[in-house]
Every structure is written in structure tokens, then in C-alpha cells.
Amino acid sequence: MADPATAPRDLPAELSLARLALRNRSVYWGGLLLCIIVVVAIVGPYFTAEPSALNPTNRLKPPGPNGVFGTDMLGRDLFSRVINGARVSLVVGLAVAVIAVSIGLFLGLIAGYIRVMDALIMRVMDGLMSIPAILLAIALISLSGATLTTVVIAIVIPEIPRVVRLVRAVVLTVREEPYVEAAISVGTRVPTIMARHVLPNTIAPLIVQATYICGSAMLTEAILGFLGAGIPPEIPSWGNIMSEGRTFFQLTPWIIFFPGLALAATVLAVNIVGDGLRDTLDPRIARNMR
């Protein structure tokens, strides 16, 4: 499993990985699209109208002089709401990816290296995987109350098993490698073996997995919002905007279409980057795990 992308070398690992990745066309164009979206999400809200400003005389207006994207049923500017919604989606996607990967990495290392824990952790993961993610998230949120934090946690939990399986698979392969056997035979302690030999091998497949988790987390967040089970309705997330647009869909379909397109474009950018990263960085594992 010593593929060239993860084998130890003189350059700092992250730098060389990044250089390698940027040579891939998907990573380049997907990354560019994603960068534009991130910049708009950060800077945009300073230049647009207040997303919650009501304007009762200007309700359900089509795109035109009353706003690039028109207005919603309370006369709020849809363009401004969509721009502000980008922040919510990106924050949720990033937070879920980072937390799920961290927890999954920790549990996966333990499962892969400590035989006793393996059976226990993997059975729990099997159980978790067989619970439908959306249902689990809906149930967790309705039990604990809908806030940004509970939504993130509710999306993280069903994503963990995928990471654990991936990390465990890497650990199981790496521990059979001659260089690990050599390290064991000279008396290297387990934490050192983990840090020096096992961890570096998980980086490439984990980066790939993290992008996919980020994309699917943004979709899940929007679905939860759309179903009315997501973050509180006063926050203009794409899911919430679309949820409010449902009632008037036959009259004003653009209230769903604009945030929907924004969401699809963002997730598409993330997924394209993920596919490109998978092709360059990682070889077999990520493909089999998908």
C-alpha cells in the first residue's frame, strides 16, 4: 500500500500533496468554483441588503427591479438571503467534515490496532450504519432542540462509520508492511508507530473522504431545513428559504430554484474536487469505500 503519494519523502507532505492535486483538472476547476463561492459567502453579505428586512408592500415579486432574485412572501430580498445562506451551508459542511473525520480517525486507529476493541467498535459502527441517516438526524434534532450545533452533531453521527471503516482498512493494511514489522521488532512504541507510520498513510484517503462528507453534509442540512427539522427558521439557510418557498411554489417557483441552484453548484464544486483528489491522491481505498 506504499503508493507514491503517501510515501515518506523530503518535502513536507501537505505541500507536495497540494501540488500534485492542483495538476488535476477537476481539482483545479472545482477548486476555482469553490473559491469563488467561499469569497462570495464571506464578502457578499457586506454588500447586500439586510436578509431579514421585511417589506410587506413588495411580497412575492419576480426577479427584476425589486431584487435580482425577487422577493419572498414577507418581501425579504431573495438575492441577499441566498448569499447569506451560503455561509450557513459552508460552515455546516466544513464543521461536519472536520468533526466526523477527527472522531472517525480516532476510533478507526483504535479499531485497526487494538484487536479487542475492533469487534466492539465495528459492531457499533455496523449498527449505526443501518440506521437511515436522515431519520436519525431528524430524531436527534427533535429530541435535543434545533440549533446550529445540534444540527451539526446530528449530521456528524451517521457520517462517522464511513470514516472509521476507511481508517481501519488502512491500518490493517499498513500494519502488515515490512517497515512496520521492522519498527515493532526494534521496540518502537505503539503511539510512535501510529504517528510515524500509520497516520501518514491515512491522510490521502481521509482528505478525499472529507470532501465527500462535506458535500453530503450540505445536502443533508438543506434537506433537514426543507423538511422543517433543521436549524431555526430565522437563520436564512438555503434549506430554510426553500422550505418557506414550498407553499408558493406554483406561484413563485424561483424561491426554490435560486437557493436550489446555489446549493447544487456548491455541492457540485465540492464533489468535483473530491473526484479529482481521489484520482490523484488515492488509489484503491477511497474508491472501494465509496
Partner 1 sequence: MLRYVLLRILSTIPVMVIVALFVFLMLRLAPGDPAAVIAGDYATAEDVARIREQLGLSDPIVVQFFRWVGSLMQGDLGISIFSGKPVSELIAQRIEPTLMLALTTITFAVLVAVPLGTLAAFKAGSWIDRFVMLFSVGGFSIPVFVLGYILIYIFSMTLKILPVQGYRSPFTDGLGPFLLHIALPSVTLSVIFIALISRMTRASVIEVLEEDYIRTARAKGQSEYNILIHHALRNAAVPVVTVIGIGIALLIGGVVVTESVFNIPGLGRLVLDAVLARDYPIIQGLILFFSFIYIVINLLIDLSYTLFDPRIRY
Interface segment toward partner 1; rule CB under 8 A; list 3-11, 33-41, 186-194, 250-258:
250-258
Interface segment toward partner 1; rule CB under 8 A; list 8-16, 120-128, 169-177, 191-199:
120-128
How far is 239 from 235, CA to CA, in rounded Å? Answer: 10
Residue choice 38, 68, 131, 199 for contact with partner 1 (CB under 8 A): 131
Minimum CB distance to partner 1 smaller for 130 or for 185: 130
Does residue 126 interact with partner 1 by CB under 8 A?
yes
How far is 101 from 112, CA to CA, in rounded Å? Answer: 15
Does residue 275 interact with partner 1 by CB under 8 A?
yes
Residue written as grid cell 452533531: 153
Interface segment toward partner 1; rule CB under 8 A; list 8-16, 63-71, 142-150, 166-174:
142-150
Helix count and strand count (H, E) for the chain? 12, 0
Is the sign of the CA dihedral 102, 108, 114, 119 positive or negative? Answer: positive
- Angle CA(289)–CA(212)–CA(2) in degrees, nearest 5? 50
Does residue 142 interact with partner 1 by CB under 8 A?
yes
Is the sign of the CA dihedral 153, 157, 158, 164 positive or negative? Answer: positive
Report how many residues bind partner 1 under the rule CB under 8 A.
44
Minimum CB distance to partner 1 smaller for 177 or for 279: 279
Does residue 284 interact with partner 1 by CB under 8 A?
no
Q: Which residue type does 75 have?
A: G
Letters for 210-249 (x = contact with partner 1 by CB under 8 A, - = none) are -----x---x--xx--xxxx------------x------x
Surface-to-core class of residue 270, CB atoms within 10 Å of its CB (0-12 exposed, 13-18 middle, 19+ buried): buried
Does residue 15 interact with partner 1 by CB under 8 A?
no
Minimum CB distance to partner 1 smaller for 194 or for 286: 286
How far is 146 from 223, CA to CA, in rounded Å? Answer: 14
Is the sign of the CA dihedral 57, 63, 66, 67 positive or negative? Answer: positive
Nearest to 204, CA basis, from 30, 24, 9, 7: 7
User: Residue 210 Cβ, how far from partner 1 at the closest point, in Å?
Assistant: 15
Does residue 63 interact with partner 1 by CB under 8 A?
no
How far is 79 from 49, CA to CA, in rounded Å? Answer: 9
Q: Are 59 and 74 in contact (CB under 8 A)?
A: yes
Does residue 124 interact with partner 1 by CB under 8 A?
yes
Minimum CB distance to partner 1 smaller for 28 or for 188: 28
Residues near partner 1, by CB under 8 A: 123-124, 126-136, 138-140, 142-145, 215, 219, 222-223, 226-229, 242, 249-250, 253, 256-257, 260-261, 263-264, 267-268, 271-272, 275, 287
